[in-house]
Amino acid sequence: MSDVIAMLKAAAMDEHAAIIQYLRHAYSMGEGEEACEIEGIAREEMRHFWMLSRWIVRLGGSPTIERGLVDLAGETLGDWMERDVQAEDRAIHMYRDMLAKIENPDLRADIERILADELVHRGDFEGMAEELAGELPEEADADEAPAPQDVESLGWGVRHEYAAILQYLFHSFLIQDEEVSRQLELQAINEMQHMGWLGEELTESGQDMPLEHHEVNLSQEPQDMLQADIQLEHDTAAMYGQFMERMADPEFKELLEQIRGHELYHEGLFERLLERLVS
């Protein structure tokens, strides 16, 4: 059994890495059909990450937020897509290998579903690699370099949103209450959107999107988790409010205001979920 858990953990780390690799590629491309398609694939990798981690918990292991290899090599958009094809190839190989070793029919069904997705992703990335061969990412406008406090705020936001994604996913892996777990997963997807909006703004202004995250609360008890989640939202809304006061670019400010509105909603939602758990 522990062999299976070890395999699932290795797979979860690679799914986590794929989410970040693909999102970084999508955000660095700017708006467009391909970027949307890649973001859609990243959301499916998040679903895989979730499925694998729920299995780890079901089999008595502890889920992990460690990350596998993120491959950001390459100069052109076509090169990036080639790297994504390679990531899918590694995943396909790994899942085939797992299927040769796993007997549990329910787990096999889930792995087969994931493998089928990876085969589709591989084809999608291969197609995009052809379309985007030789294309360079858009150069940022040097005249419109953002103010240092704006770069700092956006970077803080990306690292925060990344931590929030991991924290809510981790908590959703462990919480048995289906509704609470589902809500946490949905809000993690919402935080991923926030990370995208902030990351895109950074990239458009010629900055790299940070790849590291703030500290993640890894509580194991449902009530502790929700309390930590409420606190995180509360502190973040306050921080975004402070950033808004000193940001230079009105568009960035507007964006932060919109995100801050979501965070306040999350805070209220998590309070209601906590009440549901204690009643």
Q: Tell me how far, at minimum, the Cβ of 49 lies from Fe ion, in Å.
A: 8
Nearer to Fe ion, 82 or 118 (CB): 118
For Fe ion, the binding residue among 266, 270, 273, 274 (CB under 5 A) is: 266
Cα 240 to Cα 31: distance, rounded to the nearest angstrom? 24
What is the footprint of Fe ion within residues 88-107 (CB under 5 A)? none
Residues 215 to 254 in contact with Fe ion, rule: CB under 5 A: 233
The DSSP call for residue 206 is T
> Is 185 an interacting residue with respect to Fe ion (CB under 5 A)?
no
Q: Residues 118, 150, 200, 201: which binds Fe ion (CB under 5 A)?
A: 118
Residue 188: which H helix or E strand, with range?
helix 178-204
Q: How far apart are CA 52 and CA 105, in angstroms?
A: 15
The verdict on 124 binding Fe ion (CB under 5 A) reads: no
Residue 112 or 138: the one with the smaller Cβ distance to Fe ion is 112
Interface pick for Fe ion out of 16, 24, 25, 48 (rule CB under 5 A): 48
Contacts of 238 (CB under 8 A, 6+ apart): none
Three-class DSSP category at 275: helix
What single letter denotes the amino acid at residue 14? D
Per-residue string for binding with Fe ion, 140-169, x by CB under 5 A?
---------------------x--------
Q: Which of 263, 270, 273, 274 binds Fe ion (CB under 5 A)?
A: 263
Q: Are 275 and 222 in contact (CB under 8 A)?
A: no
User: Judged by CB under 5 A, does residue 260 bind Fe ion?
Assistant: no
Geometric angle at alpha carbon 273, from 270 and 275, rounded to 5°? 115
**Phi/psi of residue 63, nearest 5 degrees:** -65, 165
Applying CB under 5 A, the residues found at the interface with Fe ion are 15, 45, 48, 118, 121, 161, 191, 194, 233, 263, 266
